[in-house]
Chains A and B, each alone.
Chain A
Amino acid sequence: MSLLDLKGVSLSFAGSKVLDAVDFSVPAGRIVSLIGPNGAGKTSLFNCITGFYKPQQGSISLDGTETLRMKPHQVTQLGIARTFQNVRLFREMTVLENVMSGQHSRTRAGIIDAILRLPSQRREEAEIRRIAEECLSFVGITEGWEREATTLPYGWQRRVEIARALATTPRLLLLDEPAAGLTSGEKEELIELIRRIRNERDICILLIEHDTGLVMRLSERVSVLDHGVMIAEGTPKEIQSNQQVIEAYLGVEEDALDL
């Protein structure tokens, strides 16, 4: 039973095809990786899944609910959260406030509740804060919650972004190159964190990653995208020995895939 299902998804910009009839699925409870050379369309595929791009053809569904025509915030509300390739925390706001943003779509207090500071609004605020604190602790950030988020060290910012995505209480978490720019020690912590997110929170993971060592260790399934076409799908072992994959990588970058 797959949680996320893509069928025949095609996306083009001004006539040039970015994604060509992509079939892809994420089985429930799995950690799945999406790899491929630069410009293969991986981030575009993420943007289609999260509602930022509208594919011209195909179908995308989460647990049977069609999301193709949904706006990004509706997709998030349905249970898909994401991080960005280049960290996009909210500037001039604290770490805690950044993570609190995730609960927005799960809460309802409006103008009048805020001005009158109704008991229900105060309870809700306390709950938003509690969940944000819990998510921050979960990713290992236990201090500095009142700091301006964008002044944190880079590796921490990446973790705050994951905490922010977790605060939306997703069923599926999309990570766009979560290891980019991390030290090897931080990468080990990331692998541990991603496993804990799946095991302890029962959240399905889909990640784009260039660090193939990390992908092979972490993933249970790997899909390979090249020039907008899904060329292979299988276990890390199967992908490593797939001739088409090796050619796709060798054709672009000699040492992109250390096999």
Chain B
Amino acid sequence: MAQFPERPSAWGGLATLLDTPQKRYAAIAVILVAMAVAPYIFGSYGTVILTNALLYVLLALGLNIVVGYAGLLDLGFAAFFAVGAYTVGITTLHFGLNFWLALPLAVLLAIVAGVVIGAPTLRLRSDYLAIVTLGFGEIVRITARNLRETGGASGLIGIDSPWLFGWHIRTPLDFYYVFCVLAIIGVIASVRLANSRLGRAWLYVRHDEDAAEAMGINRVKVKLAAYVVGAIYGSIGGAFFAANLGAISPESFSFRQSVLILMAVILGGMGKIPGVILGAFIVILAPELLRDFGDLRLLIFAVGLLLIMLFRPSGIWPARSKR
């Protein structure tokens, strides 16, 4: 059967590389230890950058479900990120709500926003969806800029950091570990979704909408589910982002953010979880690593991205391992 290519899985080539449980446990242990000790190696500035990278891992995993699994081009993903952040900001500041109560509220609002935007537009072809999501992203940002409740252009400041069973999550190191946990949960949820009835349905619809319908799959509902899962990821990222920084402003949720998250997904390899994680790290770390080049760093970064897309159009992460 060797002559038949294996199907590319959500794991990319990792499943064949780590073919025994021992190897897998070893790999997981190495990753966990590396995550635990990283802040002590990279110092306080490095920890802040890594925290940001982990936030992007979470956001990119969410967008990956929309773009990578369901094949829907979403250019306004930062809107869900904003809904999460502003819900936590407003409810904790103005209504004195506990962070852990604000969090589910943020998720709920993001789901509502996802359904409101998705339900009418997911019937359209993907190109139109891209335009609508682009508009939605801008609407959310501009609304945040102009409302009194959202603090206008200067945003919200003094958002409380949360307590968890007597642990006050407040230092950058605390938040680093919180985002580690979030990213891990995000990965597990993504993998489980990919290997489920719904995960398969996303792929069916992406590959052939008509054949999927003929198999009894409601394509609008399935796409909406992807959109909603993406919104949940985005809003959780946003909620913890707000709690971490303690201050948010509309410019944190610009079109540039949406593009950056999308770039992480495409760069690493759509639909491939290790690729998406790698993409998120590259998008955040590369500009930092290129800091020595001063003004040239964004140019170098851009050229690097173009080269990657030129030579690896389906992303950096290999679809299947070469033996």
The 23 sampled A-B contact pairs (Cβ below 8 Å) are A71-B213, A72-B210, A72-B214, A73-B213, A73-B215, A73-B216, A77-B216, A84-B214, A90-B203, A92-B207, A93-B7, A101-B200, A101-B204, A104-B200, A104-B215, A107-B197, A111-B198, A111-B225, A114-B196, A115-B189, A124-B197, A128-B197, A147-B4
CB of A144 to closest CB in B, whole Å: 7
Measured between alpha carbons, how far is A73 from B208 in the docked complex, in Å? Answer: 14
CB of B205 to closest CB in A, whole Å: 9
Cβ proximity bits B181-220 to A, threshold 8 Å, 1 near / 0 not? 0000000010011001111110110011011111111110
Contact A88 B216 (CB under 8 A): no
Q: Does B229 contact A (CB under 8 A)?
A: yes
Which A residues are in CB contact (< 8 Å) with B229? 111
Q: Does A235 contact B (CB under 8 A)?
A: no
Measured between alpha carbons, how far is A114 from B202 in the docked complex, in Å? Answer: 13
Measured between alpha carbons, how far is A247 from B215 in the docked complex, in Å? Answer: 38
Which B residues are in CB contact (< 8 Å) with A77? 216
Contact A76 B216 (CB under 8 A): yes
Which residue of chain A has the shortest Cβ distance to B203 in the bound complex? A93
Contact A111 B218 (CB under 8 A): no
Measured between alpha carbons, how far is A151 from B5 in the docked complex, in Å? Answer: 8
Q: Does A159 contact B (CB under 8 A)?
A: no
Measured between alpha carbons, how far is A84 from B204 in the docked complex, in Å? Answer: 15
Contact B6 A146 (CB under 8 A): yes
CB of B313 to closest CB in A, whole Å: 15
Q: Does B8 contact A (CB under 8 A)?
A: yes
Which residues of B pack against A, CB within 8 Å? Answer: 1, 4-8, 189, 192-193, 196-201, 203-204, 207-208, 210-219, 225, 228-229
Q: Which of A90, A110, A113 contacts B207 (CB 8 A)?
A: A90
Which residue of chain A has the shortest Cβ distance to B212 in the bound complex? A101
Cβ proximity bits A81-97 to B, threshold 8 Å, 1 near / 0 not? 11010001111111001
Q: Does A138 contact B (CB under 8 A)?
A: no
Contact B1 A105 (CB under 8 A): no
Which B residues are in CB contact (< 8 Å) with A106? 216
**Most chain B CB within a 10 A radius of its CB, from A73, A94, A124:** A73
Which A residues are in CB contact (< 8 Å) with B216? 73, 76-77, 102, 104-106, 168
> With A102-B216, A115-B192 in contact, is A110–B4 under 8 Å at CB?
no
Which residue of chain A has the shortest Cβ distance to B200 in the bound complex? A97
Measured between alpha carbons, how far is A159 from B31 in the docked complex, in Å? Answer: 44
Contact A111 B228 (CB under 8 A): yes
CB of B54 to closest CB in A, whole Å: 19
Q: Which of B197, B198, B204, B228 contacts A90 (CB 8 A)?
A: B204
> With A104-B197, A105-B217 in contact, is A90–B211 under 8 Å at CB?
yes
**Most chain A CB within a 10 A radius of its CB, from B6, B208, B215:** B215
CB of A17 to closest CB in B, whole Å: 24
Which residues of A pack against B, CB within 8 Å? Answer: 50-52, 71-73, 76-77, 81-82, 84, 88-94, 97, 100-107, 109-111, 113-115, 117, 121, 124-125, 128, 144, 146-148, 151-152, 164, 168
CB of B127 to closest CB in A, whole Å: 21
Which B residues are in CB contact (< 8 Å) with A152? 4
Which B residues are in CB contact (< 8 Å) with A93? 7, 200, 203-204, 207
Q: Which of A101, A105, A125, A144 contacts B196 (CB 8 A)?
A: A125
Which A residues are in CB contact (< 8 Å) with B225? 110-111
Contact A148 B7 (CB under 8 A): yes
CB of A106 to closest CB in B, whole Å: 8
Contact A114 B192 (CB under 8 A): yes
CB of A84 to closest CB in B, whole Å: 7
Contact A72 B199 (CB under 8 A): no
CB of A149 to closest CB in B, whole Å: 9
Q: Which of B5, B197, B208, B218 contacts A109 (CB 8 A)?
A: B197
**Most chain A CB within a 10 A radius of its CB, from B7, B193, B213, B219:** B7
> With A92-B8, A114-B199 in contact, is A84–B211 under 8 Å at CB?
yes
CB of A158 to closest CB in B, whole Å: 14
CB of B226 to closest CB in A, whole Å: 10
CB of B172 to closest CB in A, whole Å: 29
CB of B75 to closest CB in A, whole Å: 23
CB of B270 to closest CB in A, whole Å: 12
